[in-house]
Chains A and B, each alone.
Chain A
Amino acid sequence: MNGAPGPTAPWLIAPVAFLVILVVGLQALRAADERPPDPDLLVAAEDLPLLTGDVIRCERERPDNEPAQREVERIVTGTRVSSATVVACPQAFDGRRVTYVGEVVGDVLVRDGGAWAQVNDDAYALAAGPLPAHDDLQGTNSGLHVWLPDTLRADLEPGRPGRRGDVVEVAGVLVRADPEDAGGMTLRADQLRVRAEAVDVEVPVDPAQVALAAVACAVAAGIWGLRRREQD
């Protein structure tokens, strides 16, 4: 702050303008790269309709426990449930026999005479397929933890980056606080059927992004070269 003061306007305007151009440019770049979902990845499971009605949320220790009671009344033993319905009112499903359809993702953790599997029933599992192969963003993942005894777990292919895993239909008993998993919510399966085999999905590279990467690296290298020349 000593000496002759310099102009401030360019120092303020330039970075703000750069950031605005950067963000708008990147948004435009993404918007131009249209990626429709692959209809072949849809797993309809129409023969197993989901539990009907809205998702009802129950809360413990609240004076009005009526929602939980309503939830209990509408459950038909063996009916297909979604993970969202179960976590919204876990007490209502505790100890009930249910059917569940979803994609095995990540790892099948084989141990203790069986295996743990995370089975997702979100849109990426049952409808649109994994990102970023398409641009139909449908929110976060959701699923249930499933315990598979040794007799059921043979050769499941879990979903991973670039692969939609096996979509399975499991039937079993839902345990709200499973003592075998230190209180975790578990679907202890006794039946399993693979409804759709795992499939690799192609993740295309956007040529415009390649061009942008090349330009960004070229600019950095160019300025570095200029600096070197000036120093010499």
Chain B
Amino acid sequence: MFLRPDGRDLRIIGFYLGKIAMALALMMALPAALAVALREWDAAIALVTGAGIAASIWQGAEWRLRTRAHLTWAHGTVVVALAWLLGSVLAAVPLFLSGHFGDFLDAWFEAMSGLTTSGLSVVNDLDHLAYSMNFYRHLTHFAGGQGIVIVALSLFSASGASIGTLYVAEGRDERIVPSVVRTARFIFLIAGAYLVAGTVALTATLWAAGIGGWRGLWHAINLFFAAFDTGGFSPTSSSIAYYHSAGVEAVLAVLMVAGTMSFALHYALWSGRRSELLRNIEVRTLVLTLTGFSVLAVYGLVRAGTFDTTGGLMRKGLFTLLSAHSGTGFAVNNGTLYVTDWGVLAPAAVVAVMALGGMAGSTAGGIKVLRIGLTTKGLLREVRRLLQPESAVTVATYHSGKRRIITPPVLIAATTILLLYILTYLAGALVALLYGTWDVTEAIFESVSAAANVGLSVGITSPTMPRGLQLTYILQMWLGRLEFMAAFAMVGYGVSLVGSRRR
């Protein structure tokens, strides 16, 4: 029997969505202050308008919807699913008013891409975009990557007791420490530590690369947000190729790896449990897949004659593989070159690692290496079981914080999500193929990049792309970020709502 939601439930959902609007208003206020400091008045007005609208929604929700009612699992799931939709619409307001987007759909695409840490971009004339507005684009990565829902609710709720559901619904598998609020604060502690260290290291390497003064710092902060939150936006149109710097790429590689690591693993390392690095199933799977596909990509690039120097293979080939596997999406060459100059094997390896994604409980997207590891172990267990006497009991285990048994529900959950991702990748590619403009390689590349929240592009994503495909990618980015279940639950909630109204 399904629950029948009524007006009281919608009031609770609306009240918590108001808190999301508050977080967005605060997020817009920071670049607005930068715009005023830099005398970028048009950008300042756009950001203040966005902040004002978000603040009005927040105040309206506090005024008319305030409630002490308990937040149930159903409420929490719907709040999370709607938060990414409503949040991205509100986040799109300043972008649209900046004058760099053709219509509101373009701005919504950019905002969804930013908040879901995808990094696909449809901005016109990025190289002349106001500093403050460009900073705002990158800030959406940080807000989305650190989990805007958990941020808003853990920092501004009186109690974390009723919001645990939001944490899980948002695609974070488990609490790192018993309290959700403490977990969120630990996430911010980690992010803060990396922010300081990463920004200092990037600023130093950027200064050495030739971008001096405050511009070096500005690039560094933006790049940090995009790297650590596995986002992929970059301050300039040529992404990381702009810097021509091995030092910058090295620091970004470290930040991308840190970003794709689960916060549980960060916590283990923070607590001095370094052995977790060697035993953790996700680390092992990630190392194996990254190594295997890197070898494949290097072989492909050499076979195609794309690069014949170690520098080219490392700084173009391997950096791109790491960028794709971590879910970041930084590019070190023009996206068209993946089609025109990379041959066939290396782009296939890039697509494969994009599809696999990073670790669960991180800011990375994709299927996640945890599910790949679990599915592989489950498959091996089945093979072992077939080869052993019928009376033998076969148990498969994995290490993630502690030794755990792979139970049938765990395996079913992992394979179900894996299957849903593959279907989403294929569906997006099919929609692109319907337009008859791109071949199957390009269609799959771009679809996987969108659904796995990566952001590498072969050029399909642009301000002139078909509207239907743009909506498809928005849907894919949203589903990929939520890992499907919260979105499906929201649809189910809506169906129940309609059903209850008909009765």
Contacts and interface: CB of A to CB of B under 8 A. Distances in A.
Interface of A: 1, 3, 5-12, 15, 19, 22-23, 26-27, 29-30, 35, 57-62, 87-91, 105-111, 115-116, 118, 120, 122, 124, 130-132, 135, 137-143, 145, 159-164, 176-177, 179, 181-185, 203-206, 209-210, 212-213, 215-217, 219-220, 223-224, 226-227, 230
B339 interface: yes
B174 interface: no
20 contacts: A1-B6, A6-B7, A6-B11, A22-B93, A60-B341, A87-B334, A107-B211, A132-B42, A132-B100, A138-B125, A139-B462, A140-B126, A161-B128, A177-B306, A182-B316, A184-B316, A185-B337, A213-B49, A217-B51, A230-B63
Nearest to A62: B344
Nearest to A10: B7
Nearest to B4: A1
A58 B340 CA distance: 5
Given A145-B238, A145-B244, A140 B462 contact: yes
Nearest to B497: A8
Interface string B314-331: 111000000000000000
Interface of B: 3-11, 14, 25, 40-42, 45-46, 48-49, 51-53, 55-56, 58-60, 62-63, 72, 86, 89, 93, 96-104, 121-131, 208-211, 215, 236-238, 241-244, 246, 303-309, 311-316, 332-334, 336-337, 339-345, 462-464, 497, 500-501
A177 B308 contact: yes
A1 B5 contact: yes
Given A7-B6, A140-B125, A185-B337, 19 more contacts: A5-B4, A8-B6, A10-B7, A12-B10, A22-B53, A60-B306, A61-B303, A87-B340, A88-B340, A115-B210, A130-B125, A132-B100, A137-B100, A140-B121, A164-B128, A209-B42, A213-B49, A220-B55, A223-B59
B311 A183 contact: yes
Nearest to A86: B334
Contacts of B305: 60
A11 B52 contact: no
Contacts of B14: 11, 15
A71 B63 CA distance: 66
A182 B312 contact: yes
A58 B341 CA distance: 8
B341 A11 contact: no
Nearest to B312: A183
B10 A11 contact: yes
Given A3-B8, A88-B340, A107-B210, A209 B307 contact: no
Given A131-B99, A131-B124, A203 B42 contact: yes
Nearest to A9: B501
Question: Which 7 interchain pairs have the tightest Cβ spacing?
Answer: A183-B312, A6-B7, A132-B99, A216-B52, A109-B210, A5-B6, A130-B128
Nearest to B249: A182
Contact of A213 (B8, B48, B123): B48
A161 to B, nearest CB: 5
Contacts of B340: 57-60, 87-90
Q: Interface centre among B10, B51, B127, B128, by most A CB within 10 Å?
A: B128
Contacts of B307: 177, 183
Contacts of B337: 87, 90, 185
Given A8-B500, A89-B340, A139 B464 contact: yes
Contacts of A19: 86, 89
A120 B127 contact: yes
Contacts of B100: 131-132, 137
Given A8-B497, A131-B100, A184-B241, A110 B309 contact: no
B55 to A, nearest CB: 4
Nearest to A142: B237
B244 A181 contact: yes
A119 to B, nearest CB: 11
**Centre residue among A27, A106, A132 by max chain B CB count within 10 A:** A132
A49 to B, nearest CB: 23
B234 to A, nearest CB: 11
B342 A60 contact: yes
Nearest to B75: A1
Nearest to A220: B55
A160 B339 contact: no
A9 B5 CA distance: 12
Contacts of B309: 177, 179, 182-183
B308 A227 contact: no
Contacts of B211: 107, 109
Contact of B131 (A161, A217, A220): A161
B98 A185 contact: no
A137 B129 CA distance: 13
Contacts of A5: 4, 6-8, 500
A161 B334 contact: no
Nearest to A12: B10
B312 A177 contact: yes
Contacts of A162: 40, 128, 130
Contacts of A107: 210-211, 215
A61 B303 CA distance: 9
B8 A216 contact: no
Contact of A106 (B236, B311, B316): B236
A109 B241 CA distance: 12
